[in-house]
Structure 1
């Protein structure tokens, strides 16, 4: 009877299953075997091949030196192999993994628990969240894991991490959920909001599953916090609620993850801010700037307002705010709890895509210009959001340096304000100035608020 009780505890999908701590030594001895037997087939190994271009001849494009150094430093592609894990989320072969495992891959091979192999392609990837959605080719009737709402996960719950650490084969480790709403602590590409676990996670576990005792997916393992390179029991997983939004956007045909645009800058409320704002305890985010077409401004928010919750979930950092808006998705509304003075109220804010207003007029300079490949655009919310630029930025922005622009010192995000003494107000002004045949070019730019002058000879 005791064995039956634990099996009911561990097997997913049983209506009478009850989450509880094992009550006897015999229950503990039985362990997680039934749970792993059900969940492991949905966790896969991923082998990705990345071909990177070799370094080009630095004298290519130089009309004088290219003939003297023809064949020097011949570019040869470099092949890199990446190893990681993934989780099957549907019977037709939708898989989630980490972007740093498959995001730049030219060839992806997926090996199931029973050693069946499939080729796969990336449907949607996002470096900032470190998530990628894959589709297996010609797959059907595959085992998959059910997604659990990660907002219902509590600290102290038992959790299992399943993956392929160090390439030794599928491995399972156990632990508990150690913390929630971890932001700004994970390493690698991922930024934002994480579930923390002490279930050992090692290299190769990236993209693997973090599951609860009912076999449901609560997170995708992404990184560890370590000084030695080994697992110290501080691992981070991307919550399943964000994974669900990624899958939804991938199924609608998106190839890039689209986040709602706030058009707002905020900062965490510390003790000093809480005192000046009249708050009893430090909590939430204080609004420090609003774009003129921000949906928050349209909903009545002002600089100095404090945001404490999004859809009844607390937010205390900008990363948490971005996460909460991301899981709400484009096209809906989020209920924002606002504190203004002594007044607390809930305000509905539209979740919109960053507007391309005024039109960005993104333009790449042609081969017959001074800096071929340099790409410029008018600063607007869409450009600012795409390249992670400051909210208040205006003017003409360098969004791609191009091979020659990078040599003379142009960086992505530079604001071009003048060329050879002529003011720059629109992308076409840059094209006009750099089409003229001159021997010397002087570019005046703003970089992180500082004025910089670049001078170079043609």
Structure 2
């Protein structure tokens, strides 16, 4: 095997003898260096060490792509400590810290280390896997350095940006670049519903949860992911906008352990060129509503399937993720102004921000006896639909919440929507309870997973 070693080229510049080090005397001279900015902002960016205990299977099929899923649950499990390393940002002098969920989520022990080497134990106030955000709290006898949040809606492409974090665990590192894109959505985080700022400032493993700051030292985003083929930075990194971070901090201070998300109750898709032609638009823009729940606040405001949402609170929306983001940065119970196209006319209406209603009754049941013992199911309503991230089109029926016991080996998964058991239609949790009492050796369970129908047959 041939090895190719990188060649380092050193360039030497000869300075005049008279050249002297000069203290910057104006803002223009200071802006030539990031040093004053970094000196002020860096103490608010921390290293985070998290430990979590996971159950590792001792099955001989673990890691085998062909048999691991088939023999899922086979063999004993043993606890194993899993470590993670990342970054965080202090947002207040009383110790509110933001980081990524994938850094601290489900952790049993979290240590926050400041640049002055002080260490603090941290507790999670609020964590959300979908947004990949976690709000932590550390306690200090003295006020802590912190960064101010900037209105991320004012951020423009081309602005200078610095990424500060702890890549590869080598210590705090600063990289520079610009904001290279806005309103990026569907990238690799959570359930791919994210909405990000894009930067070419180098972000590497360990930078997760670190700060993306502007030229004034304000936090414009929390670094979260990159697009890469090699595992290293290719100049395409993503940060969660500060406006969403501010909403999470607000709810964490209010005592929420989970993020309260406004419910839209609609399903939509981005308007592409072919759809734009069909709707008579000169350019592709907006999100067309393809389906809508009867209880949706958009329906209450007068919108219908086929309408195109163009903007929310004056900000254009061109993907469902942008709509979700615009709703997420406004408090539940308030209103948003929605501009939409209906029957060729542009209209504006106020839409209320509500939580997903928990009606009709979900009637959660855990089957205690019979063949289906250990299966927990619930009737689908908007709240259940929202919690499990079910498509808006799946508005009724019975969904699997948990699987314990022998039935776990059959292949059912959380989020599966049951349609029939042994040929009998399933409409409510009561139907599942009754079906479990059947005296039969041959069983068949039909349902829908991710829009695809499935059927499991087994014998007892």
TM-score by length of 2: 0.87
Which of these residues, 243, 247, 250, is aligned with residue 249 of structure 2? 247
* 1:357 is aligned to 2:378: no
Distance 1:135 1:424, change over 3 A: same
Local SS of the residue matching 1:276: helix
**What does residue range 285-300 of structure 1 map to in structure 2 within 5 Å?**
285-300=287-302
Q: Which protein is richer in helix relative to its size?
A: 1
- Partner of residue 5, structure 1: 26
* Matched residue, 2:413: 411
Change (3 A) 1:212 1:344: same
Indicate whether 1:325 and 2:346 are aligned: no
The 3 A distance-change label for structure 1 pair 101 and 450 is closer
2: CA distance, partners of 1:376 / 1:138: 45
* Structure 2 partner of 1:199: 201
Work out the CA distance in 2 between the residues paired with 1:318 and 1:140. Answer: 44
Contact 1:305–1:338 under 8 Å retained in 2: yes
Residues 83-106 of structure 1 deviation map (CA, whole Å, 9 limit, x = unaligned): 000001111111100000001211
Q: Distance in 2 between matches of 1:196 and 1:171?
A: 19
Please give the alpha-carbon distance, in whole angstroms, between the structure 2 residues aligned to 1:101 and 1:55. 23
Would the alpha carbon gap of residues 430 and 170 (structure 1) be closer, same or farther in structure 2, given more than 3 Å must change? same
What does the per-residue CA deviation read over 1:279-324, in whole Å, with 9 as the maximum and x for residues that have no partner?
1211001111111111100000011111110110110001111111
Matching residue of 1:453: 455
Helix, strand or coil for the counterpart of 1:258? coil
Change (3 A) 1:216 1:448: closer
Match of 1:177 among 176, 179, 184: 179
Deviation at 1:423, TM superposition (A): 3.1
Change (3 A) 1:302 1:46: same
Greater displacement, 88-97 / 387-396: 387-396
| Structure 1 position 109 matched with structure 2 position 111 | yes
Deviates more, 1:136-145 or 1:329-338: 136-145
Which residue of structure 1 aligns with residue 102 of structure 2?
A: 100
Q: Structure 1 residues 186, 2: closer, same or farther in 2, change over 3 A?
A: farther
CA deviation string 1:331-380 (max 9, x = no partner): 111100111233212110011111111111122223x4423332111011
Q: Is the 8 A contact 2:131 2:190 kept in 1?
A: no
C-alpha contact (below 8 Å) 1:278/1:341 kept by paired residues: no
Tell me what 1:381 maps to.
Answer: 382
Unaligned runs of 5+ in 2: 1-21, 61-73
User: Structure 1-normalised TM-score?
Assistant: 0.88
Distance in 1 separating the partners of 2:457 and 2:125: 43
Superposed, 1:302-451 pairs within 5 Å as 302-366=304-368, 368-393=369-394, 394-436=396-438, 438-451=440-453
**Alpha-carbon separation, structure 1, partners of 2:175 and 2:153:** 23
CA deviations 1:53-100 (Å, max 9, x no partner) are 132789xxxxxxxxxxxxx95422111110000001111111100000
- Structure 1 unmatched ranges of 5 or more: 7-21, 59-71
Distance 1:152 1:450, change over 3 A: closer
Kindly indicate whether the alpha-carbon contact (under 8 Å) linking 2:267 and 2:393 is maintained by their aligned counterparts in 1: no
Correspondence 1:228 to 2:249 = no
The alignment partner of 1:114 has SS state of coil
SS of the equivalent of 2:325 reads helix
What is the CA deviation profile of residues 170-198 of structure 1, one whole-angstrom value per residue up to 9, with x for unaligned ones? Answer: 11111111111111234576642111111
Q: How much does 1:28 deviate?
A: 6.0
Aligned equivalent of 1:67: none
Residues 173, 450 of structure 1: alpha-carbon distance in 2 compared, 3 angstrom cutoff: closer
Q: 1: CA distance between counterparts of 2:451 and 2:344? A: 36
The aligned counterpart of 1:46 is 48
Distance across 2 between alignment mates of 1:192 and 1:427: 33
How many pairs does the alignment contain?
425
1:218 Cα deviation (Å)? 0.3
Q: Distance in 1 between matches of 2:83 and 2:102?
A: 12
Map 1:124-203; keep pairs closer than 5 Å.
124-137=126-139, 140-186=142-188, 191-203=193-205
- Secondary structure of the structure 2 residue equivalent to 1:418: strand
Q: Structure 1 residues 42 and 298, CA, compared in 2 at 3 Å: closer, same or farther?
A: same
Q: Is the 8 A contact 1:295 1:349 kept in 2?
A: yes
Query: Residues 284 and 315 of structure 1 are in contact (CA less than 8 Å); yes or no, is this contact kept in structure 2?
Result: yes
Indicate conservation of the 8 Å contact 1:188/1:223, yes or no.
Answer: no
